[in-house]
Structure 1
Amino acid sequence: MKPEQVPNTDSSSRFATLTFERDIAAPVETLWHAWTAPAARSVWAAPSPAVTVEFLEADTRVGGCEISLCKVEGQPDIRCDCGWLELKPAERSVNYEVISSGEVTQSSALVTAAFARMDEGSRLMLTVQLSSAVDGMEAGYKQGFGAGLDNLAGVAERTMVLRRRIRAPRQLVWRAWADPEALPKWWGPDGFSCRTHRIDLRQGGEWVFDMTAPDGTVFPNHHLYKEVRAEERIGYTLLWGENGPKHADAWISFEDVDGATEVTLGMVFGTAAEFQDAKGFGAVELGLQTLGKMARFVGAD
């Protein structure tokens, strides 16, 4: 989460405890993924359109680190080093973060997020224990975290999360996604086929392909791979056709569970309307069919 940059005119205490609360019209499990998944965090982290957030590293597990740069034209970059201390899915997360500019540390904070299931959606309660080395950080945190949580609420409400437990080792499941010969053989809902134009499944690579429906309708696709962590996570952007408009930011994660592999497929759609349109044409059911085809491909179903 990025504090907004503000003038150093605040003479208040360098130590503060800040609290934030948001009710969000999304299931708590979806909110959790929007809060923790790097592909989603990169969408909502910037507190304003004038700010660009560049993620240099993102390892979302206990002991893992997240490093990002907050960029504003005409101002020095602000670096955020975040370390995950506790992750209890859909319940609680704790992380520390250190904000610096150049070689000067500006603040450090302990951030505790608590998640609650509500009748209609979920609630996020955030506590920030802040220690500042410079003036103005408390006001900056209030502005930055407030704006970031508003963004998070919008992202969670247009995020789709699909999960399937595959009765196969994670290494085998990973190969089905990361092997350019294997992926086109099973990708897509039941009855769909893929015709590849270009495929390079490395970070910075791409997959340009057509999906053909059972009725012969062709859907051009272009995936841009932003993050590839072997046997852990893939982050990518979906475009409508080669170099076309963005459809969604997406990720796939892989987790060992009692000898099986828990696969999570998440997508953040560009707008709430696109999310509702996707649900309307059956994206949830079609996505689950795709995961089912993958399970059959690895011999686990």
Structure 2
Amino acid sequence: MPVLHAETDTENLTLTIVSELAATPERAWQLWADPRQLEQWWGPPTYPATFHRHDLTPGSDSRYYMTGPDGSRSHGWWTTVETTAPAHLVFRDGFSNDDGEPVDPQDYGTVTVAIEAVGDRTRMSVQTTFQSTEQLNEMIGMGMAEGMTEAMGQIDALVAG
């Protein structure tokens, strides 16, 4: 499993998950840039993701849903804020309706991805910053830390293949 640690910081309203991959930074970037690769790890194993729109150009949107074991779908949206391939990505992430549009465009977490070479491996840090303690607690209560850890745990097999 590539996850080194997950940390919730209630003072700074963040959840940070750090992983280390047997891949180059360019290969790690493709895990974010290519929607078909992103689908293979974005959701936990029992909630795979499907991206029906994906664009990492700043100002562009991505739309996806995760399908649960019972067939139910949880929809989400991203708006890309900034990118510096292959090292840095910032996007807003929130819940969407069945049509893919945000339930509340002002209710989101800001996700910052940092990708850096560490020897012959790559360290990838995914930090979500929440807008309030209530929002942080809600997402932690929904299992976000465990879900992201499980999701990122699927990456080793993907980069090895």
TM-score, normalization: structure 1?
A: 0.46
Number of aligned pairs? 149
Query: Does the CA-based 8 Å contact 1:236-1:250 persist in structure 2?
Result: yes
- Any gaps of 5 or more consecutive residues in structure 2? 1-6
1:206 aligns with 2:64: no
Q: Paired residue for 1:185, among 18, 40, 55? A: 40
Contact 1:30 1:161 in 2 (8 A): yes
Which residue of structure 2 lines up, in the alignment, with residue 230 of structure 1?
85
Shift of 1:183: 1.6
The 5 A counterparts of 1:1-301 are 156=12, 158-241=13-96, 242-245=101-104, 246-299=107-160
Asked if the contact 2:23–2:122 (Cα under 8 Å) also holds between the matched residues in 1, the reply is yes
What's the offset of the Cα at 1:212?
A: 1.0
Runs of 4+ in 1 over 3 A off after TM superposition: none
RMSD, aligned α-carbons: 2.0
1:280 shift after superposition: 2.1
Q: Is the 8 A contact 1:253 1:265 kept in 2?
A: yes
Higher relative contact order (CA closer than 8 Å, sequence separation 6+): 2
Q: Is the CA contact 1:203–1:226 (under 8 Å) kept in the aligned structure 2?
A: yes
Q: CA deviation at 1:30?
A: 7.1
Partner AA of 2:58 in structure 1: Q
| Larger-gyration structure (1/2) | 1
CA contact (8 A) 2:22 2:159 kept: no
- Percent identity over the alignment is 24
Alpha-carbon contact 2:43-2:66 (below 8 Å) kept: yes
Q: Aligned AA for 1:166? A: L
TM-score normalised to structure 2 length: 0.83
* 3-state secondary structure, aligned to 1:215: coil
